[in-house]
Amino acid sequence: MTETKMRVLVTGGGGFIGSHLARFLYLQGNYVRAVDIKFDDYIQEKYCAEKLQLDLRPWENCLTATKDVDKVYNLAANMRGIGFITTQGAEVMHDNVLINAQMRALSAPQGVRGRNADITLARNVLGWEPEVSLEKALAKTYRWIAEQCATDKSSALQ
Ligand SMILES: NC(=O)c1ccc[n+]([C@@H]2O[C@H](COP(=O)([O-])OP(=O)(O)OC[C@H]3O[C@@H](n4cnc5c(N)ncnc54)[C@H](O)[C@@H]3O)[C@@H](O)[C@H]2O)c1
């Protein structure tokens, strides 16, 4: 058991990594809320304090999911298998950028103390630093999505 008990949100908590992470945190004595658009039952026994079935693309659902939590582990991702992600790039990027950006934005206003990406260990041990700033990376990603949407639209018209 850890000394400090936290209220933790695991998004994608019905998926493979999310459910196993939720169980790990729950067994440490934390209050764990698992949120997912669907629950795949990877784990049969009780592995969290609370399960919420929510689509995290709408902003309001992200507000509900993050209410009163101290920390967010964001594992929600539109994946649906290799066939889907290799042919539906724009939809995959759209959903995942949206969910990631909203979860990131909600880290501060609702008092979340942690975020899903803590690079402290990589920085301290490996001397690792991101090569691209968050702002530049988001702008580049946004341009890429816009190009993909335009390509998808024009090929649908042909
Ligand atoms: N599995 C691996 O080997 C692996 C390796 C490296 C990184 N990752 C990353 O870890 C993350 C989770 O991977 P996973 O293997 O657990 O995938 P997964 O598909 O089992 O879990 C993702 C979960 O997100 C949920 N989700 C999708 N759209 C949602 C939405 N709109 N609202 C709420 N929930 C939604 C899905 O229902 C699913 O349960 C992904 O970002 C993945 O790229 C996975």
Nearest to 18 by CA among 2, 41, 7, 101: 41
Output the CA angle 133-105-116, nearest 5 degrees: 70
Q: Which atom of ligand 1 is nearest to the CA of 42?
A: 20
Identify the pLDDT of residue 2.
47
**How far is it, in rounded angstroms, from Cα 149 to Cα 140?**
14
Whole-model pTM: value is: 0.75
At residue 123, what are phi and psi to the nearest 5 degrees?
A: -70, -45
Going residue by residue through the chain, which has 158 residues, state the pLDDT in tens, using 9 for 90 and above. 445 589 999 999 999 999 999 999 999 999 999 999 999 889 999 999 999 999 999 999 999 999 999 889 999 999 888 888 888 888 999 999 999 999 888 865 455 555 556 778 888 888 988 888 878 988 888 888 888 878 876 776 66
Q: 55 is written with which tokens?
A: 């689509």
- Look at residue 48 and give its three-state secondary structure: coil
**How far is it, in rounded angstroms, from Cα 117 to Cα 137?**
15
Please, what are the domains in the chain?
A: 7-81+98-116 (3.40.50.720)
Do the beta carbons of residue 11 and residue 28 sit within 8 Å?
A: no
User: Which of 17, 38, 86, 103 for mutating ligand 1's site (highest number of atoms within 8 Å of CB)?
Assistant: 17
**How far is it, in rounded angstroms, from Cα 7 to Cα 113?**
10
User: Which of 16, 40, 91, 116 for mutating ligand 1's site (highest number of atoms within 8 Å of CB)?
Assistant: 16
User: How many angstroms does the Cα of residue 18 sit away from the middle of ligand 1?
Assistant: 7
Identify the pLDDT of residue 1.
46
Identify the pLDDT of residue 112.
52
Ligand 1, atom 41: closest residue by C-alpha: 77
Sheet holding 31-36, edge to edge: 50-53, 31-36, 7-11, 71-74
Identify the pLDDT of residue 156.
63
Strands 71-74 and 50-53: unpaired
DSSP string, 67-131: TT-SEEEE-------HHHHHH-HHHHHHHHHHHHHHHHHTTTTTT--B-S---HHIIIII----S
Identify the pLDDT of residue 109.
45
